[in-house]
């Protein structure tokens, strides 16, 4: 088996190796660390679900099985599109992964966000990409670029929708929109790669030596826009159980979700936007429902998106293993 083939069959945990080779001790250690990390992730997820079970059950009664299923599917589209955005950016920086491999890396690593701190998804992505022959430095740069593009599209959608749906939200969280011009400039094809190269030169490290082209940025932004719309529809379906579905509600929820997540990322004092996203989204929803109802929708959304994360990670892992078995045959 060639080195390239070894890389192709590597998993997200452990160093890639051929079945006929002895397992290196470092690989065993990485596998054990990976298993321990996943156990901690699932414990953290269970704690979140248990703490919010009453509000979630109450909202699900009102939404009904059909509404819950539609909200779940919209969440799959929203988070799935974010995975495709990540793959597009990494590919633009020269990290070419098969779609199944890329989505497996992304969706499994996203479970790390349920652990304290905001670095676990990136750490898991860097390790998985290293096992596939990619540079950790390039993966890290790709994550920074990906986040910038996601923020740019999210803030632009919020700025385009909320003035019509709920202008008070923009007045209250004006500081998030104030960052939009800078974020959009940084999202331009050559801006961040150039700045990252300058930072690397200051610390006497080799430059990335790669840059995104306009077509890649536009494709990534399109996936980002689809992600925000999917998440907006997901919330709108839950809120519709309390207020009735309408185009105005869809616009409000799309803009609200875009503003809430973007504000959470930009609010540095709160690690990974902990709590702020829920506060902003509840405030936006209070334009159409009571504060208590808005909070139940926010809690239900959080639990459903946890289920979406688990489903996508599980599906990507199953597909990846099937492809790996097919390759070894």
- Top-confidence residue, 121 or 179: 179
> Among the listed ranges 52-56, 95-99, 142-146, which one has the minimum average pLDDT value?
52-56
Surface-to-core class of residue 326, CB atoms within 10 Å of its CB (0-12 exposed, 13-18 middle, 19+ buried): exposed
Task: Tell if the pTM clears 0.85, that is, is over it.
Answer: no
Neighbours of 302 (CB within 10 A): 17
**pLDDT of 294 above 60:** yes
Residue pLDDT, tens place only, 71-110: 999 999 999 999 999 999 988 888 877 888 888 888 988 8
Confidence of residue 16 (pLDDT cuts 50, 70, 90): very low
Rounded mean pLDDT of 161-183? 91
**Per-residue model confidence (pLDDT) at position 264:** 85
Surface-to-core class of residue 120, CB atoms within 10 Å of its CB (0-12 exposed, 13-18 middle, 19+ buried): buried
d(CA 3, CA 178): 49
Top mean-pLDDT range of 23-27, 144-148, 266-270: 144-148
Phi/psi at 211 (nearest 5 deg)?
-150, 150
- Whose CA is closest to 169, among 257, 266, 300? 257
């Amino acid at each position: 088996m060639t080195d390239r083939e070894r890389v192709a069959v590597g998993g997200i945990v452990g160093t890639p190796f051929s079945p006929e080779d002895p397992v290196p001790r470092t690989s065993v250690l990485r596998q054990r660390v990976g298993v321990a990390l996943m156990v901690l992730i699932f414990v953290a997820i269970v704690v979140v679900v248990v703490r919010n079970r009453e509000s979630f059950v109450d909202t699900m009664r009102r939404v009904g099985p059909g509404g819950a299923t539609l909200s779940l599917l919209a969440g799959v589209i929203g988070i799935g599109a974010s995975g495709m955005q990540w793959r597009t950016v990494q590919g633009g920086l020269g990290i070419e992964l098969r779609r199944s491999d890329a989505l497996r890396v992304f969706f499994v690593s996203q479970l790390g966000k349920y652990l304290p701190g905001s670095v676990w998804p990136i750490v898991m992505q860097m390790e998985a990409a290293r096992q596939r022959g990619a540079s950790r430095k390039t993966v890290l740069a790709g994550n920074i670029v990906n986040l910038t593009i996601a923020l740019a599209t999210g803030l632009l959608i919020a700025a385009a929708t909320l003035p019509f749906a709920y202008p008070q939200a923009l007045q209250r969280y004006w500081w998030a929109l104030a960052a939009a011009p800078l974020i959009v400039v940084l999202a331009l094809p050559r801006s961040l790669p150039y700045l990252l190269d300058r930072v690397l030169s200051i610390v006497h490290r080799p430059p990335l030596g790669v840059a995104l082209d306009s077509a890649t940025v536009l494709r990534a932004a399109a996936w980002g826009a689809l992600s925000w719309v999917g998440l907006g529809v997901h919330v709108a379906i839950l809120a519709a159980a309390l207020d009735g579905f309408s185009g105005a509600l869809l616009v409000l929820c799309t803009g609200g979700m875009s503003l809430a997540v973007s504000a959470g990322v930009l609010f540095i004092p709160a690690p990974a936007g902990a709590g702020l996203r829920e506060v902003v989204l509840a405030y936006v929803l209070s334009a159409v429902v009571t504060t208590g109802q808005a909070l139940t929708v926010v809690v239900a959304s959080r639990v459903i998106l946890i289920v979406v994360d688990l489903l996508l990670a599980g599906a990507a892992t199953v597909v990846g293993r099937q492809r790996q078995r097919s390759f070894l045959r």
